[in-house]
Structure 1
Amino acid sequence: MSISGRSPGSSEKPSGRAAVVCGLGGWVPQRVITNEELSQRFDVTDEWITTRTGIRARRAVDPGQATSDLAVEAGRRALHSAGGEAPDTVIVATATPDRPCPGTAPLVASRLGLQEAAAFDVSAVCSGVVYGLAVASGLIAAGVSRRVLLIGADVYSTVVDQSDRTNAVILGDGAGALVLRAGDPDELGAVGHFELGSDGTGEELIIIAAGGSRQRASDRPPTRAEQHFSMRGKEVFRHAATRMANSSRAALSAAGWKPDDVDLLVPHQANLRILRTVADDLGIDPDRCAQNLVEVGNTGAATIPLALNDAAASGALRPGHRVLLTAFGGGLTWGSCVLRWPDIDPPLAATVRSEP
């Protein structure tokens, strides 16, 4: 499904209100879990982990910390970056909400002093921020919202079985946030030309089976495995690489861009092999592919805003750059969109603790 303001390849100027990026922030927990620590736990080497994932470290929350705590910190940084009026809408994309009910977004909004803002969660797993961008763009275009705070946050350390080598070496905790305001489709920072899709027949490829109505209706207690995150790595790799590449091509075509026009590809930070496969399939040089999973791992819905944050902080992402975002997650879900990066102050790297 392609969602766009104009037909692929059209030179027609877009019209109406657009969602324009005006703020950015990221936050990861302080606790670092290194490959050396995991090597001792699983009797593997640092090289074994790095070769398969490209990850050398990941972050994990301390006991008692939850998704909302990380979301608030990332949101606060993004709001500081944006300045101006307070958002009237808060969206939190997460697969690890504080509770099954209520949503996490209203609590986050309240803790940020936005008690009367509309607030809701988006559940599209690792595709959540791209889906959230589409929702925010629609709300702004329709005149329902003037300013949206979109946060991607996950604490996978709370749902991954820490004796599960396959997933424990990949997944980490983190949060990233974007502020979007109403603006002109032609200005820097305007987000558009979305391509979104799903395939529910693959729901069991990435799943936490327990906790929802399906498991509860079975009238039996959940097994240990059902209470933890599960992923069929080989099948997911194939789907993720194919879906992100095809979705990216559709978004680029809708924007009238070619792969050579892209200054920075920002894919979901699943693992390094998937990133390289997608970039290669699109014909985009690896040097133009954002990669921050080396130090923070796969942070789920947080990966794209965190990668944007760290690329902007390092100077790899600069005003006017043509940016392609693409993601794949449980559901199965996937999505892509494009924008030209706005002229905003570079944020702090997510790992820097002091406030601006």
Structure 2
Amino acid sequence: MSGNANFAFDDIAIVAVSACEAPEVVTSEAMDERLSPFYQRTSAHAGILSALAGIEQRRAWPAGVSFMEAAALAGEKAIIDSGIDRSQIGLVIDTSVCRERLEPSSAVTVHNALGLPSTCMNYDLGNACLGFVNAIHLAGAMIETGQLDYVLVVDGEGTRQIHDNTISRLNEPGSTFDDLVENFASLTLGSGSAAALVGRHSQNPGSHQVVRGLFRAATEYHELCVGSLQSMKTDTAALLDAGTSLAKLAWDDANKDEWQDMDLYVLHQVSKVHTEAMIEVLGIDPARVPMTFPRFGNMGPAAVPFTLALSADQLSAGDRVLCLGIGSGLNAGLLELVW
């Protein structure tokens, strides 16, 4: 199974999954107001953000709150919810896309903030919006081989800087409608954080078993979405086509008949267009697809665990959940859970 990027676990579970909402609400109307100089000069008009993306608002952290602090907030919540003593955690992985520095890692700050022991390893794992799903897989592999007992995966994303930079750039004389199209994805991003504590299913009653999954890559599309805190330039139409095609490839390579009737499908939260396209290409029931992007925007790798955590009250013991993440590059990952 390892040769084709498929995997299965015997005794791995998510013991706790948490979401932390950034407190400041940033509506699409408020962003339209800030973009009024741009709208007055071009053929674009107010309302385009909510009309095209289906995003009515997104969140922001207060100025001065770092990405690592946001990640640690979610990590602390997951530790408390799990009931596990933090001395048992052998590794913390930070999967955040947003970074304030090249070194040291973001994980060292999270490790320190959470008061984790010196025996707890710590490092970052970056793979665009798929990083959190990758980290769950890595955590499961390390626990199942007996190297560790518990792994904490955290993610903290913030959008204040990229929003400010993008809006300022669009409002400059000379910017065109094409510039808005190229930078549109930047304005759909939202702030938030999430965390999951991974351990053995047999040792944690009430935990949520990680059954199996798979990963697929289409790296010929690595230039379709390139981002930094300064900007995120995206070929939106090409990225939509390539992303849905890769998701369909992964779906068809799996035993898709067993995934056709899951109780919940937690998809990466991008936009209305992307979600509807993914539902159509996979042929799944839209009523079983929770959507957080209309209120929180696209939170990158935090989106899947954040949506899973907010959907927990819809789930009962034994329910089957499929998580699907897609990251710029392109990479796709599917993760099957039993609640």
Q: TM-score, normalised by structure 2?
A: 0.84
1:263 matched to which residue of 2? 263
Report the residue type matching 1:340 in the other structure.
V
Identity of aligned residues (%): 23
Residues 187-218 of structure 1: per-residue CA shift (max 9 Å, x gap)? 962213221122333222121379xxxxxxxx
Report the residue type matching 1:179 in the other structure.
L
Report the residue type matching 1:90 in the other structure.
V
Shift of 1:318: 2.8
In the alignment, the residues of structure 2 paired with residue 188 and residue 77 of structure 1 have an alpha-carbon distance, to the nearest angstrom, of 16
2:153 matched to which residue of 1? 150
Structure 1 residues without counterparts, runs of 5 or longer: 6-13, 211-226, 342-356
Where do residues 288-327 of structure 1 align in structure 2 (5 Å cutoff)? 288-312=288-312, 315-327=313-325
Secondary structure of 2:189's counterpart equals: coil
1:79 matched to which residue of 2? 79
Query: Which of 203, 212, 232 matches 2:222?
Result: 203
Q: Give the 4+ runs in structure 1 shifted more than 4 A.
A: none
In the alignment, the residues of structure 2 paired with residue 77 and residue 251 of structure 1 have an alpha-carbon distance, to the nearest angstrom, of 34
1:234 matched to which residue of 2? 237
Residues 103-157 of structure 1: per-residue CA shift (max 9 Å, x gap)? 1112101101114211111111111111111111111111111111111322233
1:348 matched to which residue of 2? none
In the alignment, the residues of structure 1 paired with residue 281 and residue 329 of structure 2 have an alpha-carbon distance, to the nearest angstrom, of 23
1:217 matched to which residue of 2? none
C-alpha RMSD of the superposition: 2.3
1:245 matched to which residue of 2? 248
- Comparing 328-337 with 128-137, greater Cα deviation is found at 328-337
1:172 paired to 2:186: no
CA contact (8 A) 1:197 1:333 kept: yes
In the alignment, the residues of structure 1 paired with residue 308 and residue 186 of structure 2 have an alpha-carbon distance, to the nearest angstrom, of 24
Using a 3 Å threshold, how does the CA distance of structure 1 residues 282 and 167 change in structure 2: closer, same or farther?
A: closer
Secondary structure of 2:287's counterpart equals: helix
CA contact (8 A) 2:15 2:207 kept: no
1:140 matched to which residue of 2? 143
Residues 243-299 of structure 1: per-residue CA shift (max 9 Å, x gap)? 22332444454xx71312x01000110112211221222221111002111110000
Using a 3 Å threshold, how does the CA distance of structure 1 residues 2 and 295 change in structure 2: closer, same or farther?
A: same
2:22 matched to which residue of 1? 29
In the alignment, the residues of structure 1 paired with residue 285 and residue 309 of structure 2 have an alpha-carbon distance, to the nearest angstrom, of 21
Secondary structure of 2:74's counterpart equals: helix
Report the residue type matching 2:226 in the other structure.
I
In the alignment, the residues of structure 1 paired with residue 234 and residue 260 of structure 2 have an alpha-carbon distance, to the nearest angstrom, of 30
2:327 matched to which residue of 1? 329
Using a 3 Å threshold, how does the CA distance of structure 1 residues 70 and 248 change in structure 2: closer, same or farther?
A: farther
Report the residue type matching 1:176 in the other structure.
A
Secondary structure of 2:98's counterpart equals: coil
In the alignment, the residues of structure 1 paired with residue 253 and residue 207 of structure 2 have an alpha-carbon distance, to the nearest angstrom, of 21
In the alignment, the residues of structure 2 paired with residue 250 and residue 77 of structure 1 have an alpha-carbon distance, to the nearest angstrom, of 36
Question: Which has the larger share of helix?
Answer: 2
Q: TM-score, normalised by structure 1?
A: 0.81
Residues 89-108 of structure 1: per-residue CA shift (max 9 Å, x gap)? 11111211231111111210
CA contact (8 A) 1:3 1:195 kept: yes
1:162 matched to which residue of 2? 166
In the alignment, the residues of structure 1 paired with residue 153 and residue 255 of structure 2 have an alpha-carbon distance, to the nearest angstrom, of 23
Residues 61-89 of structure 1: per-residue CA shift (max 9 Å, x gap)? 22222210110111111111111232221
Report the residue type matching 1:102 in the other structure.
P
CA contact (8 A) 1:184 1:190 kept: no
Residues 314-335 of structure 1: per-residue CA shift (max 9 Å, x gap)? x223322110111111222221
Structure 2 residues without counterparts, runs of 5 or longer: 40-44, 171-179
CA contact (8 A) 1:266 1:290 kept: yes
In the alignment, the residues of structure 2 paired with residue 318 and residue 242 of structure 1 have an alpha-carbon distance, to the nearest angstrom, of 32
Report the residue type matching 1:324 in the other structure.
L
